[in-house]
Structure 1
Amino acid sequence: MGLDSDKKKLMSSRYKINNSSSEYLLEEEKDLEEGSGVEKMKNKGGQYDGQLKYGSNDSLLPGMYDDVALICLSWVCRFDYASLSCLNTRFNFLMKSGYLYELRKQLGVVEHWVYMVSDPRGWEGFDPTRKKWMRLPKIPCDECFNHADKESLAVGSELLVFGRELFEFAIWKYSLVRGLWVKCEGMNHPRCLFGSGTLGSIAIVAGGSDQNGNILKSAELYDSSTGKWTMLPNMHSPRRLCSGFFMDGKFYVIGGMTSPNDSLTCGEEFDLKTKKWRKIDGMYPNVNRAAQAPPLVAVVSDELYAVEYLSNMVKKYDKEKNSWDVLGRLPVRADSSNGWGLAFKACGERLLVVGGQRGPEGEAIVLNSWTPKSGVKDGILDWKVLGIKEHAGVFVYNCAVMGC
């Protein structure tokens, strides 16, 4: 996308941006409308005619109108935001306002970062482009939450971590904009061991178990722009230890168990437009047991891929035939731990496998990636090492990929 087309796209929606997407320009215009602000600007050689304009000393990038400068800044790597915020007060306010994330969304600028936790030191983020690691602040939770099993998902510019505190389920969210953890509003039906998927700024969780161990068939939608949970219609079957994902704009749930001894091979599809669930018999024929991890699935370019634990093979789902085709072998073993401790995620146009290995220098977490567009050659997938985290254990407790 060229700069000219980006500018036209921004100009066509500028009123919307200024009045709803961010407080950044609103705050700047408010300052300018005050008499002292206008006079100060005129004294610096700027001009003010009711629109946001700056003199050379006031602009974000000297000699460039702010709306053009903001387009340029929206293409800057997110890893550099911390450095930019240290330049001056205006850049600091810009980075903390969240304005650039809204602008990136409108311009279609997306970077995928991997967030994971594999040792007691807490969550870390990995930038696949810069090959850089970043440690997140510790979650200000109680000790019960720290040591309990947790689940996670990335939605919008937030990382949500689900777990259990001393007396109830709790959700903590890390805001990429604010750079800190805050308590998230709880679900209408608190749960664990659920299936989940994200699409832009929304996420859906379905099934799972409540605090009393009852298996649920309810589902809820989370909107990261409001921080609110909304109930959705119930699924056809209750299920726990299931997996969820979005494909072709619809939400799916596959696998799981409907009772301590009964596994499900059917899947369910939720249409956001009609608000109805559709049952798909035989969508996931690999029967999983209570000792096994939920299905390891990922969607790249609206195509569904899964890991078969016992054979360590990657499979692809055929939508028309409702069947699975074997593609090739994983770069790590999943059978030794029944799928636990391994992450299988979509990272842009790549499939990502995150798992531990033991080498001469000790334990490490290795991020392997494969691009489906590269194809399969003689039953071999061309896995490439995307990153390595040394001395980080060999078990991935939680992993999520955020694209914003």
Structure 2
Amino acid sequence: MIVGGRKTEKLVQIYDINRKSFKTLKSTLYERYGSTSVKINNHVYTAGGLGYKFVECLNLNQVDGDWYKVASMNEQRWGAASAVLNDQMCVAGGMDGGGNMLSSVELYNTVVNIWTNIASMQTKRCQHSLVSYNGRLYTFGGSEKFLFSNHLNSMESYDPREGKWKSLKPMNEKRRGLSGVVYNDEIYAIGGFGLNSAERYNIRTHTWTNVGSLNHERYGSCACVVNGKIYVIGGYDGDASKSIEAYDATINEWTIETDMETPRWDASVVAL
């Protein structure tokens, strides 16, 4: 499911990877440019975006139903990143309504409909990535300064048992506006401003290794894993992109999958 994006702020579509077809669903309540989304217990939650701290939800048991509001985040967040930690939505960093970069992190408990702050990241980050693996959070890349003058290659992780973030080995390249996923028990950092490169992080050996390059530069794309492949959607390479490409680790190659009906940039995606 692809949610929002620049110039497609309320558009929600499901992409069927087998049929290579798109189905348009009910629009979100709010414009979702620079928002972030997760799937928890057959519900999709999308949070933030330009000027918003509002959060809304779609029940996938009623996929043709309407989006509805849930509790708002404690802070406005544009260009934040999200992941699922212990069945809760975690949203980290981003930029608030005053143009301030954020290091703060919030957890959303879907059962009691409450957001709670946890320990802040060591670094302020916007347009970064956040993934969850084996009960820990990993965040990497982005920018820590307004006007995005300082791109980051740093990485840090959060263990809820310790309640703090710690630094890990940085990426090989500085990446703002990248997308990130966990794939085959490794963390992938994909694209970024002016980049078509990708690299993966081995959690056991704490090493980054370059992998096959994308067919296009992808800044502000989004990515997910479906049926043993990474799918990267849209982005910006001089103009908003319609293309979707897929990565197969068995051949270490990216292949153009299809074109979307509408270009997307700074959208979010969840695998259904």
Q: What residue is the counterpart of 1:287 in the other structure?
A: 174
- Opposite residue 353 of structure 1, the aligned amino acid is V
For 1:194, give the aligned amino acid: A
Q: Cα deviation per residue 1:289-322 (whole Å; 9 max; x = unaligned)? A: xxxx422222113211122444523322233554
Quick check: 1:371 aligned with 2:251? no
Partner of 1:400: 269
Look up the SS of the partner of 1:180 in the other structure.
coil
Match of 2:153 in 1: 265
How far 1:124 moved relative to its partner? 0.8
Is the Cα–Cα contact under 8 Å of residues 300 and 348 in structure 1 kept in the other structure?
Answer: no
C-alpha separation between the residues in 1 aligned to 2:160 and 2:93? 17
Matched, 1:172 2:56: yes
SS of structure 1 residue aligned to 2:198: strand
Quick check: 1:353 aligned with 2:232? yes
Q: What one-letter code is carried by the residue in structure 1 that aligns with 2:232?
A: V
Residue 371 of structure 1 aligns with an amino acid whose one-letter code is D
What is the rounded CA distance, in whole Å, between the counterparts of 1:402 and 1:221 in structure 2? 20
* 1:128 and 2:17 correspond: yes
Q: Is the 8 A contact 2:219 2:235 kept in 1?
A: no
Per-residue Cα deviation, 1:297-351 (whole angstroms, up to 9, x for no partner): 2211321112244452332223355432222121x311xxx613x3332225321
Aligned residue identity for 1:153: S
TM (norm. structure 2) is: 0.80
Counterpart in the other structure of 1:137: 26
Percent of residue pairs identical = 21
- CA shift for structure 1 position 187: 1.2
Which has the greater radius of gyration? Answer: 1
Q: Determine if the alignment matches structure 1 residue 323 to structure 2 residue 192.
A: no
What is the aligned partner in structure 2 of residue 297 from structure 1?
180
**Does the 8 Å CA contact 1:317/1:325 hold for their aligned counterparts?**
yes
| Equivalent in the alignment of 2:125 | 239
Q: Is the 8 A contact 1:248 1:302 kept in 2?
A: no
Q: Is the 8 A contact 1:209 1:215 kept in 2?
A: yes
Q: How many Å separate the matches in 1 of 2:50 and 2:208?
A: 39
* More strand per residue: 2
Cα separation, 1, equivalents of 2:79 and 2:195:
24
Q: Distance in 2 between matches of 1:244 and 1:164?
A: 16
Q: Which amino acid in structure 2 is aligned with residue 269 of structure 1?
A: S
Q: Which has the higher helix share?
A: 1
Q: 1:345 to 1:311 in 2, by over 3 A?
A: same
Q: Give yes or no for the alignment of 1:343 onto 2:239.
A: no
Q: Give the Cα separation in 2 of the matches to 1:364 and 1:205.
A: 26
Deviations 1:218-239 (A, max 9, x none): 2111233443222112222322
RMSD between superposed Cα atoms in Å:
3.1
- The answer to whether the 8 A contact 1:155-1:224 is kept is no
2:17 aligned partner, one-letter code: P
Alignment CA distance shift 1:354-1:204 (3 Å): same
How many correspondences in the alignment?
A: 261
Q: Deviations over 1:172-196 (max 9, x none)?
A: 2222234211112111233222222
TM-score by length of 1: 0.56
SS in 2 for 1:177: helix
User: Structure 1's 231 and 299: CA in aligned 2 closer, same or farther, altered over 3 A?
Assistant: same
The answer to whether the aligner puts 1:277 opposite 2:154 as a matched pair is: no
Query: Is the Cα contact below 8 Å between 2:188 and 2:198 reproduced in 1?
Result: yes
Matched residue, 1:160: 45
CA distance in 2, matches of 1:132, 1:283: 38
Give the direction of change, closer, same or farther, for the CA distance of 1:235–1:314 in structure 2 (3 Å limit): closer
Change over 3 Å in CA distance of 1:193–1:301 after alignment to 2? same
Q: Which amino acid in structure 2 is aligned with residue 287 of structure 1?
A: K
Question: How far off is 1:131 after superposition?
Answer: 4.4
AA aligned to 1:198 is V
Whether the aligned pair in 2 keeps the contact of 1:267 and 1:283 (CA below 8 Å) is yes
Q: Does the 8 Å CA contact 2:49/2:79 hold for their aligned counterparts?
A: no
Runs of 4+ in 1 over 6 A off after TM superposition: none
Contact 2:141–2:154 under 8 Å retained in 1? yes
Contact 2:142–2:177 (8 Å) recurs in 1: yes
| Pairwise CA distance, 1:384 | 6.4
Check 1:189–1:263 CA distance in 2 against 1; reply closer, same or farther (3 A cut): same
Query: Do the aligned residues in 1 keep the contact of 2:2 with 2:14 (CA within 8 Å)?
Result: yes
Q: Tell me: higher relative CO, structure 1 or 2? Use CA pairs within 8 A at least 6 residues apart.
A: 2
In structure 2, C-alpha distance between the alignment counterparts of 1:239 and 1:353, rounded to whole Å: 21
The one-letter code matched in structure 2 to 1:207 is G
Q: How does 1:206-245 map to 2 (within 5 A)?
A: 206-245=92-131
Aligned residue identity for 2:228: E
Structure 1's 212 and 384: CA in aligned 2 closer, same or farther, altered over 3 A? closer
Deviations 1:15-34 (A, max 9, x none): xxxxxxxxxxxxxxxxxxxx
- Cα distance in structure 2, aligned partners of 1:191 and 1:211: 7
